[in-house]
Every structure is written in C-alpha cells, then in structure tokens.
C-alpha cells in the first residue's frame, strides 16, 4: 500500500510530507526531488523506481504530488487516489497552488489522516468529509450524540455520498450534457479516428433521499422497449445512439444497469458527474478543416485553410479558434482571413485564427504566407497538425435526455414538482487535421 505522500513546489521544496509506513525512509523525500524534479530531461514515466522504492507522481500546475511505496501496490488505485486528493483539496480551498497549500497545511494533514489510513484509501467523498473535517471551527464537541453517529454511519455507510435530512424549499435539478468531440483527419479529408467522450453532470438541489431514474436515447434500451410496437421502433430508431461504453458515479447501482440497463441512483447533494460515456458511430463532426500547405523553395511556405461548418443553419457555434503551426525558423507571416481575426504568435509558433460566432452550413477561409530563415538543420519540419477549438449548442454524439424521474416517498413532493433544466454543450476535444 501507499507508504507515504509528499507534496512539492516547483523548486522541489517539500510542502507536505506524510509517511504512513516504516519502510519509507527519510531520504525518500529527497530521492524523488533529486531524481525526478531536478532531473534535466523530460519526464519519461509517471512511475519511477529509485533504489527499489517506487514513486507515483502527478502534477497540478507547478505542484508535484508524489506517492511512495516499496510494495507491489495497485498502481491504478494510487493514481486514482492522487487525483481524488487533488479534487478534495480543490473542494476545500480552490486552486492547488503553493500559496493555498501553505495556507491550509493543517487542514491537508487532517485530510490525509482521514482519507488514507496505513496507506489504504478510505472514504474520500468531499460531501461526507465536510461533515466532520472543518478547519473553520465547527468542532465535534458541539455535536449531539445523534449527530455524531449520523456522521459515522454516513462515512462508512452504503450511501456515503449523501447525508440525511437535506431540505430545500424549491426542488430543482440541472443536467448538463457536456461532450467533447475528438477527431484526427488526414490531409486528404479521411477520418482516421473520431470519437465523442461525453459527461452528464448533474446539479441537484433535492430534499430528503430522492430516488432518481435517468433515461436517454440509448439504442439498446430503445430497441428493447420497441420490440412490442414495430411502429415506435421505426420512429425512435433513427434517433437512438449506440453507446460504446459508459462508466458511472459510484451512486449508480451498477448491477441494475448490468441486468436491466436502467440508470437509478440516489444523487449526492450539489454538483457531481453522473456518468461518462463514449461513442464512435454516427458522430456529427461540427467542422471540417481543409488545409493546403505548399513549400515554395526553402524560404517560403504558402498556407491556405478552409473551414466548413456542418450543422443546422439555425444554430450558432462559438469561440472558434483555428491554430496553424508554423516552422521554428519562421521570420515573418502575412495573413488574410475572410472572417474573424488572425494573428501570428511567435511564442507559440502558430497562427491563431479566432472567430466569435459562426452559423451552420457556412464556410470561411484563411490564407497565409510564411517566410522562413534559411537553416542548415537537416531535420525536416515535423508539420504538426492543425488543431481547432469551438463550442456548439448540441451534442455531437446525438445523445438526448429522455427523462429524469425523481421519487421521494417519505416527503410530500412528486416528480412534477421538481424543476428540471437540461442543457447540451458540444466542445472540441482534440480536433486535429494533419497537413
């Protein structure tokens, strides 16, 4: 199991050091600094073995988190734990920065004591932790016995992510379907790989212990239901999507999903990620990028890029940005674009073309002349792909929320009383076209 946990700043100074096991010596903390943080070369692996001690690290901005062990631990668990640790810290004090960590070091030690016991991760749900780990002075001696046992039963219980007795005057929930569409396209316009990774994020403000049921246009479910009436199948069949794989928040009953493919759960209070999914079939690619790069002699490049929007004309895409990489020996760039603004950014070695809004089924173009310094570097320019960023108000996978039903048998509000909001946002993930 995890033998110790260290947090360093970018210089390699220790901000937090907590050792759980005897086999981790005092020099371990220095070994990581010398061999990884101060190492000259780029990080070649997130797992490093130094003198039979293994270090797992993640970086958040310029803060290093490292877990240490001498045993054959579950490596996936260690990384999941480090991410979780970051989430918990962010939930308590916002951005993970040197300043914030120093300001909250007592709290961090307290958290580390609670969520990792002898190197075994314990309950790490922020909702539960916040009931009894507080640095703002709400101390347990003021709690009644009932409150204490409620805390412990929540921390250890089946529904560790929600406490009882939550009350709202207005029962409300928000569903965000957030998708990122990923594309890798060849210069000839052939789709090399494309997939959508989506998340359903729920913000719930519901009283009591509500039982929720979530439904979407999952092909398998719709085909199952449609068996009886062939008519319905043909109507809805077109609308359904094939989900390649999905994972759920721990509140979702997985065995129920496995047997009936229904998604039922008691949600945590506030915001959480209900599910993640991935689709690979019938993806709507919101934009098409057509590059044309021509090398004129050794000192000049001509670049022309056309983008085409490919969705309903009534919808508007936003925050469109096209990034055209330029060679390292670029000396000057002239750009002409039909729409938006384009600029050559020396520090990033790229031409960045920004368009605020663009409707569906439209087309725009940029052309640039790049002048190069003559070099004797034999190595050819790698021609990194042209990447794109955008945001569209629909789900490129075609996912639709069909329902989200809420039942709370003990309190007197029904599904109809809950105010529900659904929003779809499609963003670019890694959306690249080679040139």
Partner 1 sequence: MTDSKYFTTTKKGEIFELKAELNSDKKEKKKEAVKKVIASMTVGKDVSALFPDVVNCMQTDNLELKKLVYLYLMNYAKSQPDMAIMAVNTFVKDCEDPNPLIRALAVRTMGCIRVDKITEYLCEPLRKCLKDEDPYVRKTAAVCVAKLHDINAQLVEDQGFLDTLKDLISDSNPMVVANAVAALSEIAESHPSSNLLDLNPQSINKLLTALNECTEWGQIFILDCLANYTPKDDREAQSICERVTPRLSHANSAVVLSAVKVLMKFMEMLSKDLDYYGTLLKKLAPPLVTLLSAEPELQYVALRNINLIVQKRPEVLKHEMKVFFVKYNDPIYVKLEKLDIMIRLASQANIAQVLAELKEYATEVDVDFVRKAVRAIGRCAIKVEQSAERCVSTLLDLIQTKVNYVVQEAIVVIKDIFRKYPNKYESVIATLCENLDSLDEPEARAAMIWIVGEYAERIDNADELLESFLEGFHDESTQVQLQLLTAIVKLFLKKPTETQELVQQVLSLATQDSDNPDLRDRGYIYWRLLSTDPVAAKEVVLAEKPLISEETDLIEPTLLDELICYIGTLASVYHKPPSAFVEGGRGVVHKSLPPRTASSESTESPETAPAGAPPGEQLDTVPTQGDLLGDLLNLDLGPPVSGPPLATSAVQMGAVDLLGGGLDSLIGAPSFVAPPAAAVPANLGAPMGSGLSDLFDLTSGVGTLSGSYVAPKAVWLPAMKAKGLEISGTFTRQAGSISMDLQLTNKALQVMTDFAIQFNRNSFGLAPAAPLQVHAPLSPTQTVEISLPLSTAGSVMKTEPLNSLQVAVKNNIDVFYFSTLYPLHILFVEDGKMDRQVFLATWKDIPNENEAQFQIRDCPLNAEAVSSRLQSSSIFTVARRNVEGQDMLYQSLKLTNGIWVLAELRIQPGNPSFTDLELSLKCRAPEVSQHVYQAYETILKN
Q: Considering only residues 192-251, where is the footprint of partner 1 by CB under 8 A? A: 192-193, 195, 197, 244-250
Tell which positions 129-168 bind partner 1, by CB under 8 A.
132, 135, 139-141, 143, 145, 148-149, 151-153, 155-158, 160
Nearest distance from C-beta of residue 205 to partner 1, angstroms: 22
Of 397, 395, 386, 393, the closest CA to residue 321 belongs to 386
Helices (H), 9-64: 28-32
For residue 432, state whether it binds partner 1 (rule: CB under 8 A): yes
Shorter beta-carbon distance to partner 1: residue 49 or 239 = 49
Beta bridge partners of 333: 370
Q: Give the footprint of partner 1 on residues 36-55 (CB under 8 A).
A: 42-47, 49, 52, 54
| b/e sequence 250-281, b meaning 16+ C-beta within 10 Å | ebbeeeebeeeeebbbbbbbeebebbbbebee
The residue (of 57 and 339) whose beta carbon lies closer to partner 1 is 57
The terminus-to-terminus CA distance of the chain in angstroms comes to 47
376 scored as a contact of partner 1 (CB under 8 A): no
- Which residue's CB is nearer to partner 1, number 19 or number 285? 19
Which residues in 279-308 contact partner 1 (CB under 8 A)?
none
**One-character DSSP codes across 206-226:** --SS-EEEEEE-BHHHHHHHH
DSSP-derived letter for residue 172 is E
User: Between 153 and 367, whose beta carbon lies closer to partner 1?
Assistant: 153
Q: Is 352 in the site for partner 1 (CB under 8 A)?
A: no
Residues 108-127 that bind partner 1 (CB under 8 A): 109-110, 113, 117-118, 120-125
Which is nearer to partner 1, 110 or 371 (by Cβ)?
110
Residue 293 β-bridge partners: 303
- Positions 7 through 26 that interact with partner 1 (CB under 8 A): 13-17, 19-23
Min dist. Cβ of residue 43 to partner 1 (A): 7
Contacts (Cβ under 8 Å, ≥6 apart) of 89: 96, 100, 101, 104, 108, 111
- Give dist(CA 407, CA 418) in Å, integer: 10
Among 3, 33, 69, 395, binds partner 1 (CB under 8 A): 69
Point out which residues pair with 328 in neighbouring strands: none
């Amino acid at each position: 199991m995890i033998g110790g946990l260290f947090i360093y700043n970018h210089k390699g100074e220790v901000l937090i050091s907590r050792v759980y096991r005897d086999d981790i010596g005092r020099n371990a903390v220095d070994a990581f600094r010398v061999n990884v943080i101060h190492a000259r070369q780029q990080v070649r692996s997130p797992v490093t073995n130094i003198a039979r001690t293994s270090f797992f690290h993640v970086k958040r901005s310029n803060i290093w988190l490292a877990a240490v062990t001498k045993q054959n631990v579950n490596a996936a668990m260690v990384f999941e734990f480090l991410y979780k640790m970051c989430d918990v810290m962010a939930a308590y004090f916002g951005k993970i920065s040197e300043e914030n960590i120093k300001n909250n070091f007592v709290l961090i030690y307290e958290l580390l004591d609670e969520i990792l016991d002898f190197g075994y991760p314990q309950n790490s749900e922020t909702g539960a932790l916040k009931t009894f780990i507080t640095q703002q002075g709400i101390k347990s001696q003021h709690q009644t016995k009932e409150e204490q046992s409620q805390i412990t039963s929540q921390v250890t219980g089946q529904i560790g992510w929600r406490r009882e007795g939550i009350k709202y005057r207005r029962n409300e929930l928000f569903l965000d379907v957030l998708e990122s569409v990923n594309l890798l396209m060849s210069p000839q316009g052939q789709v090399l790989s494309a997939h959508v990774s989506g998340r359903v994020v729920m913000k719930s403000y519901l009283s009591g212990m509500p039982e929720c049921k979530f439904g979407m246009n999952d092909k398998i479910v719709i085909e199952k239901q449609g068996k009886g009436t062939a008519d319905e199948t043909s109507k809805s069949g077109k609308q359904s999507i094939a989900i390649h794989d999905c994972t759920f928040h721990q509140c979702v009953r997985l065995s129920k999903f496995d047997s009936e493919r229904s998604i039922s759960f008691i949600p945590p209070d506030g915001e959480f990620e209900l599910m993640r999914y991935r689709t690979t079939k019938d993806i709507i690619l919101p934009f098409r990028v057509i590059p044309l790069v021509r090398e004129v002699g050794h000192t000049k490049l001509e670049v022309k890029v056309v983008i085409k929007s490919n969705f309903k004309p009534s919808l508007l895409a936003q925050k469109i940005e096209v990034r055209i990489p330029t060679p390292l020996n670029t000396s000057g760039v002239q750009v002409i674009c039909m729409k938006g603004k384009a600029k050559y950014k020396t520090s990033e070695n790229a031409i960045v073309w920004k368009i605020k809004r663009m409707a569906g089924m439209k087309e725009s173009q940029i052309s640039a002349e790049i002048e190069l310094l003559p070099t004797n570097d034999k190595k050819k320019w790698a021609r990194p792909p042209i990447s794109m960023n955008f945001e569209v108000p629909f789900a490129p996978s075609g996912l639709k929320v069909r329902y989200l039903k809420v039942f709370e048998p003990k309190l007197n509000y029904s599904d109809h009383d809950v105010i529900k909001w659904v929003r779809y946002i499609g963003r670019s993930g890694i959306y690249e076209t080679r040139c």
